[in-house]
Structures are given as C-alpha cells and as structure tokens.
Structure 1
C-alpha cells in the first residue's frame, strides 16, 4: 500500500475508534476483538519499507520505541476507560477526559519520534504507524476486557481456557 493510503487508513481508524470510545456502549467481552489489530498488523508488516534499509539499526530503534510507546499508551488508555454494569447486568464502557489526555500524550510522543527520525534523516514508513495502531488497539482491549472480568457478577461461573 502507498504511504498516503496507509496514513489515511491510520487517521480514519483512529477517528472511528476515538469517536466510539468517547460514547457509552455495551462491552461484549466475547467478541473477537483481536481481528482488526491482526489485520492492521499484517498489512503493516507486509511493507518492505517498514525499516529504512540505509540505516536499519536506527530505524529499528525508532520503530521499537514507537511500539513501546503504544504499549504504554494502550495500557493507560485501557485504565482510563470507565466500566460499569447496568441494572440488567450488562457491561458498559465509556472514555473519559483522561482517555483524551492519553491520546494527546501518544500523539505528542509520535510527533517527537517523527522529529527524531527527521533529524537522523531516516525514511519513516506510514506502516510503522499502522503497526503501532494495531498494537495500541490490541493492548487497550486486553486491559479493558481484563478489568471487565473483575466486574463479573458474583456466582457466575467463569470458563477457563
């Protein structure tokens, strides 16, 4: 995929996810939450330009730093989401002001990493953003689902894998 298409895909997915996260919605812990991150990650990893081949080491450090940042941000994001149970026992989630702050922090970090890449004269593929978004969504959903399990109604038997 071209860099413009990847960048547009990242922006569209981020806007859709952010819009969805800031509105109250039922949480379905049984759905296949990993499908979108796996698809995004596979698209990103197919890009031969993910790393700058002129300076693979620094490029890998930059991509790795971005992935560490999204791991942390996904965890923070998962903890900032409000989770509650309605009178019928259904789980609900909604982003908070802290969720927006987590997004803002991540965007600032991404701009900082982009700036470092520019200073080092590294080619930065938009696939790195796509891969980061995949990791972010996966980690956030894992944290939210883990927190939601703690709210299981007493007496409900949980299945073990």
Structure 2
C-alpha cells in the first residue's frame, strides 16, 4: 500500500507543479523554495525499499542515475523557463514549450531506467522516483530563485539609453 500512496503523491505533485508552471505567475524570492523538495525527499528516504535487498549495487546505480536525471531535468526546466520583470518591479515566470520538451525527455529517460531495472531483475520502489522528483524540484526552484534575484538586483531607477533625450517632432506625429 505505501508504494501505491507514493505513486499517487508523485502523480499529484507532478501534475500540480507542471500545470502551475505553464501559467504566468509572480515568483517570490523570499519564500522557502526548498520546503516541498525537502518534504518529498524525507518521505522517499523513510521507505525501507529504496534499494533492492538482493541487488544492492545495481539498485544503487539505478538510484544514482535517477537522481542525475532528476537534477538534469530540473536544470533544463529552469533554464528554459522565461523570467521577466514587470514595470512595477515584480519578477514573473512561465515555462515555455522547451520546458515541456525537457519534461518529456526526463519522463522518457525515467521510463528507460525503470525498464532497464526490470530487465535486470532489480526491484525499483516508487520512493526512488519520488527522490528524483525532489531533486528536479530542488534544482529548478533554486535556479529560478537565483535568476529572479539577479533580475531584482537591477535597479529600476537606472535609466535606459535615450531616456533623458528630448523627444523629436516626429515622435509626436
């Protein structure tokens, strides 16, 4: 039953996160962006079946590959997400089509890892997938927060080139 509950949690979290990211929304750089990934990691690590009892080395390698895929997916997702500053100074974000492609590639790679494990006879628990999702969200949130803070550092009082120039007659026509 815990495997089914973990799978349900993974599907719900992934669906909510993905659905939210394809809508423009402000990003708050002061919030605790690491909390959800930390909770997912704790839930995943509390499960005793994260490593196969009969194939310790093989399951550890597959878990490491799962984590690397999660970290790569998170980084790719963060760098393909559009980040901009509104005139009021708030920083906004929205995932792009490239972000969707990164997610699709990450899911395909995870399916491949699961299929490889199944072919080798290595039992893989859903907690490995949850740990990979935690890594994805941690890296994505960290990179987006860093990108948003770098936009916050740009002072809105600094004028752009040409702001102090008087308007020409053609501009009023």
> For the superposition of Structure 1 and Structure 2, which TM-score range results when normalised by the shorter chain?
over 0.9
8 Å CA contact 1:89–1:153 kept in 2: the answer is no
Please list every run of 5 or more consecutive structure 2 residues that lacks an aligned counterpart in the other structure.
Answer: 157-173
How many angstroms apart in 2 are the aligned matches of 1:32 and 1:2?
Answer: 28
Secondary structure at the aligned position of 1:138 is classed as helix
Does 2:112 correspond to 1:121? no
Residue 16 of structure 2 aligns with which residue? 16
Q: How far off its partner does 1:154 sit? A: 3.2
Q: How far off its partner does 1:12 sit? A: 0.5
Does 2:98 correspond to 1:98? yes
1:27-70 CA deviation, whole Å, 9 max, x = no partner? 00100111111111001000100000101000000000010111
Residue 29 of structure 1 aligns with which residue? 29
Q: Bigger radius of gyration, 1 or 2?
A: 2
Q: When the two structures are superposed, what TM-score results if normalisation uses the length of structure 1? A: 0.94
Residue 88 of structure 1 aligns with which residue? 88
Q: How far off its partner does 1:93 sit? A: 0.3
Secondary structure at the aligned position of 2:93 is classed as strand
Structure 1 residue runs of 4 or more that deviate by more than 6 Å after TM superposition: none
Kindly tell me the number of residue pairs found equivalent between the two proteins.
156
Secondary structure at the aligned position of 2:121 is classed as coil
How many angstroms apart in 2 are the aligned matches of 1:105 and 1:38?
Answer: 24
How many angstroms apart in 2 are the aligned matches of 1:155 and 1:95?
Answer: 25
Residue 159 of structure 1 aligns with which residue? none
Q: How far off its partner does 1:146 sit? A: 1.2
Q: Specify whether residues 35 and 27 from structure 1 end up closer, same or farther in structure 2 by C-alpha distance, changes over 3 A only.
A: same
Residue 63 of structure 2 aligns with which residue? 63
Secondary structure at the aligned position of 1:150 is classed as helix
Please list every run of 5 or more consecutive structure 1 residues that lacks an aligned counterpart in the other structure.
Answer: 157-161
How many angstroms apart in 1 are the aligned matches of 2:64 and 2:154?
Answer: 41
Q: How far off its partner does 1:149 sit? A: 1.9
Q: How far off its partner does 1:153 sit? A: 4.6
What CA RMSD, in Å, does the superposition of the two structures yield over aligned residues? 1.2
Does 2:117 correspond to 1:112? no
